[in-house]
Chains A and B, each alone.
Chain A
């Protein structure tokens, strides 16, 4: 199973303050990331540099690499473990004119069996005495999907996916110590939306284990709606901040999801900032998902992607930041060393571990996974 990121334009959006039409700060971040869970290890670097020119234009560039070593349950059930590398380049620019920021950017993501290009334009405006910021973003993606067989591209397989996204954002200063935001995003996809590798399983009494596999079949279109609200509050008793967020999601495949997050940020000992977070996620399965179909070609659309199943996920995170300065390098205003750890647990309600031998198919134990996610990065402001 392979899933990819074509773009996360958020990286290029910069660490803008909660409100106010100002360009993001000049900074550089170098990050090492590692995900280890469910038989999948993904690690690599990410470098993000942002620089302003003439107080009017801010340019950001990002270089990101995923080095993947996968022996996931999907791979072990129906395919062979694999290794691959994905490289992503991003470039964007923000132009400040009065109380409006115009932004545009482009991202290319490349790997042996998936090529993705994404472009976006965005506009944000301050109003009501700079207490309110409204933004709109349009994004378009063009993806080419290939299939590798024995490490080589299969010349008989090439598909496309086109993606469009419309995002509306509102950020509002509510009090001197409370700021809120709301976001709404519609994403539509058209093209080959399944995986050329993944299979579904169905009851087949003629086999020793009682089931067989066939290729999954997905619809060619998908449209999703997501809406989120967020509040950030500065505590009145000491210097600390609490952040809460909720997101509702649904799509035309029948998936509905709820995400809730709570984060506490606490500076201490002059140069240190500690942060703790908890994130809850729950979703219902897609209409055409099943762990075990009653027979071959049971329906027009067939999926056994566990990301489309019913499950609950809980993530506990902790991070620590240390501020530093370098006297010999006066062009560096300040620096920060950061370490973040997240533990993700996922319990699937209708995805079973088909690697386990049982007498009756569909009675295998439900699958679950724990993932350790580590980020170590250094940030400098100049």
Chain B
């Protein structure tokens, strides 16, 4: 992939343009009680998740796409 930034920009633009259409929410705001439960958070403890991601990243060749603002590594 020669131009990852261009691809991501295109994807983001498409997704943003999609927001211009009117889509009827199929889960109403008053139906989101379960989703608001703390155990449904993708990341209950950012400080712990960040640490574990670091541990794995140091031990493994793979990196990235772990959500949040994105992981990274300055490993040498």
Binding site for B on A (CB under 8 A): 2-19, 29, 31, 33, 35, 46, 48, 62, 92, 103, 105, 109, 114, 116, 118, 120, 122, 125, 127-132, 134, 136-139, 141, 143, 145, 161, 163, 165-171, 173, 175-177, 179, 181, 183-188, 192-196, 223-228, 230, 232, 234, 239-241, 243, 247, 249, 251, 253, 255, 257, 259, 265, 267, 273, 281, 283, 286, 307-308, 313, 315, 338, 340, 342, 344, 346, 371, 373, 375, 377, 379
Contacts and interface: CB of A to CB of B under 8 A. Distances in A.
A39 to B, nearest CB: 13
Contacts of B42: 18, 171, 179, 181, 230, 232, 243
Given A161-B74, A224-B63, A249-B62, A232 B46 contact: no
B39 A273 contact: yes
B1 A14 contact: no
Nearest to B61: A255
Interface in B1-53: 1, 4-5, 8-9, 11-12, 15-16, 18-19, 23-27, 29, 31-32, 34-37, 39-53
Interface of B: 1, 4-5, 8-9, 11-12, 15-16, 18-19, 23-27, 29, 31-32, 34-37, 39-76
Contacts of A344: 55, 59
A239 B45 contact: no
Contact of A184 (B8, B9, B60): B8
B61 A5 contact: no
Contacts of B26: 131
